[in-house]
Structure 1
Amino acid sequence: MAHYAEGSQLFRNLGILEQLRPKLVYGNSVRNVLGTVESGNADAGIVYKTDARITNRVRQVATAPSNLHSPIVYPIAVISSSRNQQAARTYAQFLSSSQAQAVFRRYGFGIAG
């Protein structure tokens, strides 16, 4: 079974990490794990639902309950040393807009409150 680092937390919280550890193959990214499963080099993988949706070469069989893992958050920040601070602020504001949030939802992402 291939997985990215977050899979260990899930397996630990399910109480099966030590049992699975000899069978685990770690990927260096979620897309790497997805590719490993797509190629048949792993029977299963732990990936984000949004990544699993981008391919028809894998089948989602289960979703981890949110109480078994830390929230998955993609933050955004404007770097104070940026030479393009205004453009970065404009982009960050756009990502908070209802138009951008509709796109996020369409692709399976939730919106942080």
Structure 2
Amino acid sequence: MSLTTPTTRRRRAAAAVVTAALLVPLAAACGNDKDSQGSKASSPSGSSGTAPKSAQLTVLAASSLTDVFKAAGAAYEKENPGTRVTFSFAGSQELAAQVKQGAPADALVTADTKTMDGLKADVNDSSIIARNRLVIAAGKGNPKKIEGLKSLSADTLKVVLAAPQVPVGRYSKQVLDAQKITVKPVSQEPNVRAVLSKVELGEADAGIIYKTDAAAAKGKVDTIDIPDAQNAVAKYPAATLKTSKNSDAAAAFVKWLSSPEAQKILTDAGFQQP
């Protein structure tokens, strides 16, 4: 059995202290390196706050935006390579129902503020991107000689309107009621494009639609203007959905709709600026 002297014990203790001192910074360094790697791994992409360079966007839009948004979407994709914009068009009331049912979409544009206001729990702050007005659409050549709103009350005339819950239907009722004109429509349609189609196909003699839809059907129907004093102004609000999985890209698109380039596309199609 070997004997351990006091001197030997002191030397061993000193060596243990030195070894421990050397191991502490080494362990700390390893820990810091691990933390650094972990931090990098958990850092979410796009944390800089900028819109992603590529995204697949789905935009729910009012039927009256069908033609102009196809042009706007193409322009936006050209300006933002890697971003794809897909539109789903329907009456604003149908779009609202889709949003409430949790439809996978990123942004919404309606043809009235009432519909958008009813979705405050589902959308972020909205902004008006355009305005529109009503006109009367008649068969090509206006064979029934329709002159204005009063003409629509004739019993011999087949008039088609949008349903009251549809923005253009609500606007139509507003202008007719203001002039104390009673119209008995042969049908009430789910969106403005359906009203236009009935007139184009000769299934109705006349209908009330937006000025922009009449412009898109130039040569297929005749247009009778409604004086401003008797007309209604349709406002188009746009907003991102709170459930969007592409919130940055969706916000960038909605903001772009108010840009000079987008506004020119809208005004060229007959829409009025906000």
Do they fold alike, i.e. is TM over 0.5? yes
- 2:178 pairs with 13, 16, 25, which one? 13
The residue that corresponds to 1:77 in the other structure is 239
User: 1:25 deviation in Å?
Assistant: 2.5
Q: How far is the alpha carbon of 1:67 from its aligned partner?
A: 5.1
Unmatched 5+ residue regions in structure 1? none
Q: 1:27 aligns with which of 184, 189, 204?
A: 189
Q: 1:90 aligned to 2:248?
A: no
Report the Cα offset of residue 7 of structure 1. 1.6
Q: Partner of 1:36 in structure 2?
A: 198
Match of 1:45 among 182, 207, 211: 207
For 1:1-42, what per-residue CA distance to the aligned partner results, in whole angstroms no more than 9, with x for missing partners? Answer: 11121321111111012xx22x44311110000000001111
**TM-score relative to the length of structure 2:** 0.37
Distance 1:89 1:66, change over 3 A: farther
Looking at structure 2, the residues matched to 78 and 28 of structure 1 have their Cα atoms a distance apart, in angstroms, of 24
Q: What is the alpha-carbon distance in structure 2 between the residues aligned to residue 67 and residue 96 of structure 1?
A: 28
The amino acid across from 2:256 in the alignment is: F
Q: Counterparts of 1:9 and 1:102 in 2: how far apart (Å)?
A: 29
Looking at structure 2, the residues matched to 72 and 85 of structure 1 have their Cα atoms a distance apart, in angstroms, of 27
Change (3 A) 1:39 1:74: same
RMSD (Å) for aligned C-alpha atoms? 1.6
Matching of residue 59 in structure 1 with residue 222 in structure 2: yes
Please name the residue that 2:44 is paired with: none
Q: What is the CA–CA distance in structure 2 between the aligned matches of 1:68 and 1:53, rounded to whole Å?
A: 17
Q: Quick one: which amino acid aligns to residue 40 of structure 1?
A: G
Whether the 8 Å contact between 1:2 and 1:45 is mirrored in structure 2 is: yes
Taking the aligned partners of 1:53 and 1:30, their CA distance within structure 2 comes to 13
Residues 66 and 73 from structure 1, CA distance in 2 versus in 1: closer, same or farther, beyond 3 angstroms? farther
Cα distance change on mapping 1:68 and 1:106 into 2, 3 Å: closer
| Runs of 5+ unmatched residues, structure 2 | 1-158, 163-168
In 2, Cα distance between the equivalents of 1:64 and 1:37?
Answer: 21
In 1, Cα distance between equivalents of 2:270 and 2:226: 13
Greater Cα radius of gyration, structure 1 or 2: 2
Per-residue deviation, 1:81: 2.3
Give, as a single letter, the amino acid of the residue that structure 1 aligns with 2:220.
R
Q: Describe the shift of the 1:14–1:42 C-alpha distance in structure 2 as closer, same or farther (beyond 3 A).
A: same
What displacement does 1:82 show?
1.2
Query: Runs in 1 of length 4+ with deviation above 3 angstroms?
Result: none
The answer to whether the 8 A contact 1:14-1:68 is kept is: no
CA offset digits 1:49-102 (Å, max 9, x no partner): 100111121010222525543x31111112222110011111012111101111
Matched residue type, 1:30: V
Task: Give SS of 1:72's match.
Answer: strand
Q: How many residue pairs get matched?
A: 108
Report the structure, 1 or 2, having the larger strand content: 2
